[in-house]
Amino acid sequence: MKKKLAFVPMACDLIHEGHINILKEASKLGEVTVGLLTDEAITKYKPIPTFDFKRRTKIVESIKYVSKILKTTDWDYATALEKLKPDFVVHGDDWKSNNQKIVRSNVKNQIKKWNGVLVEIPYTQGISSTSVKETLRQNFNGSDLRNNVFNRLIKNKKLIRVIEVHNGLSALISSQAKYKNSEFDCLWLSSLTHSASKGKPDIEYIDDTTVTQTINDIFDVSLKPLIFDADSGGRIEHLKFTIKNLSRLGVSAIMLEDKIGNKVNSLEKTNNQKQDSIVNFCSKIIESKKIAKLKEIKIFARIESLTLNKPISDAINRAKHYLNAGADGIMIHSKKINPKEVFEFCKRYNAIINKKPLIVVPSTYNKTHETELAKNGVNMVIYANQILRSAIPAMQKTAIQILKNGRSYESDKDMISIQNTLKIFD
Ligand code: SPV
Ligand code: MG
């Protein structure tokens, strides 16, 4: 008689006894095919796995309960199920309550067509890939990991989500933030908020030594990849040394903007910021890339044409030149409250043959949802200042309340408790 087929869909990152238990139970039902999700499929519902698909395949194929592996590119396994028509689908029962609920009900409906049976294995308490990752995080210096994750995010994730940080505390808070299975993929060391956290305006005043110290503080508490906002990058002769230093620290990418002369923040309503010439900025990219290539750090080029009220054609022309000079990604900035000009840019950018990841910073057009950005071909969204901006009014309010009340009792309700403050660093 033909052996029954048990299909086990899995991500299989950091294998633990919970996975083994599911595979063992599945092998009692029939021949086990693991539907191993690709990196790209995983990024659709949770963070990118620590190990890439090839490495996960090697590990899973050597487990004695597994007969076959099927590369699974849909995160809801629909194609794999249609192809195999398995007698059983075996899954941990945790998906009844997590963000895979919908997938569960789709799977149930799909396998009904050939009388397939869903078998749910009770979740193994006390162990999960997330808890294993947390243990690793605590014991690990992650420069290689950060760059590895960054490169794979660029390759596999449709829209990379980046959050602003400006010191150790903001990096800790931003890295710990989780909602269901989503979290921020990367960090952005913003020149605006880094300067502000030092009580300074955003005018390229913060020196390299201070930047180094801040990056060390950030990496001490977070394993997430970091993109460094290098403003104009300063003088080409100095920039080479800056890139070397940033690479040694473990920074994954540097953002250079095409401003020149006294720096004004791009979101200032009116400003007389000068934009660099295409020739000069391209030579900055070329020189930076010579060092960056050796050091495996990416150079992103940021276009200010739209914030300086120049036409989209100027921005597109610059994008082409910057890509030809070797930029690893393009950021288009805008200070409009709707995304029209950015989306028009996207449309024309998408037609460029040698295009690289497209990055946006929707600080002013903040009603625009991530799904809309992705639909328009954006690859990376940077939330460039929100963590610091949310802290400022809270601090202002408390300072004034203490003055008003002559004590801090009334402000207590607005604050984290001392006990919980102490716990942040556990
Ligand atoms: C930053 O966060 O420092 C940026 C983005 O460069 S913006 O402030 O919008 O220029
Ligand atoms: Mg900046």
H/E stretch holding 34 reads strand 31-37
Quick one: which atom of ligand 1 is closest to the CA of 267?
9
Residue of 76, 87, 202, 229 marked active site? 202
Identify the nearest ligand to the CA of 302 by its number. 1
Q: Which of 306, 380, 385, 389 for a ligand 1 pocket mutation test, highest count of atoms within 8 Å of Cβ?
A: 385
In the residue annotation, 231 being an active-site residue is answered as: no
CA separation for the pair 126, 248 (Å, rounded): 37
Contact of 16 with 132, CB cutoff 8 Å: yes
Q: Which of 162, 191, 232, 271 for a ligand 1 pocket mutation test, highest count of atoms within 8 Å of Cβ?
A: 191
- Mean pLDDT confidence for 340-345: 98
The residue type of 221 is V
Q: How confident is the model at residue 140 (pLDDT cuts 50, 70, 90)?
A: low
Q: How confident is the model at residue 139 (pLDDT cuts 50, 70, 90)?
A: low
- Write down the pLDDT at residue 47: 85
Write the pLDDT tens digit of every residue in 195-210: 999 999 999 999 999 9
Q: Which of 255, 266, 383, 389 for a ligand 1 pocket mutation test, highest count of atoms within 8 Å of Cβ?
A: 266
pTM (two decimals): 0.87
**Cα–ligand 1 centroid distance for 383 (angstroms):** 9
List, in order of start, the domains of the chain with CATH numbers.
5-130 (3.40.50.620), 141-384 (3.20.20.60), 390-423 (no CATH)
Which residues make beta-bridge pairs with 303?
332
Write the pLDDT tens digit of every residue in 38-74: 999 999 888 889 889 999 999 999 999 999 999 999 8
- Write down the pLDDT at residue 325: 98
Which residues make beta-bridge pairs with 253?
227, 298
In this structure, the residue with its CA closest to atom 8 of ligand 1 is 192
CA separation for the pair 41, 72 (Å, rounded): 8
- pLDDT of 259 > 90? The answer is yes
CA separation for the pair 338, 93 (Å, rounded): 43
* Per-residue tokens: 426: 């556990």
Question: Do the strands 31-37 and 5-10 form a parallel or antiparallel pair, or are they unpaired?
Answer: parallel
- pLDDT of 123 > 90? The answer is no
**Cα–ligand 1 centroid distance for 15 (angstroms):** 40
**Cα–ligand 1 centroid distance for 298 (angstroms):** 19
Residues with CB under 6 A from ligand 1: 190-192, 229, 265-267, 361, 363, 384-385
- Write down the pLDDT at residue 141: 62
Q: How confident is the model at residue 132 (pLDDT cuts 50, 70, 90)?
A: confident
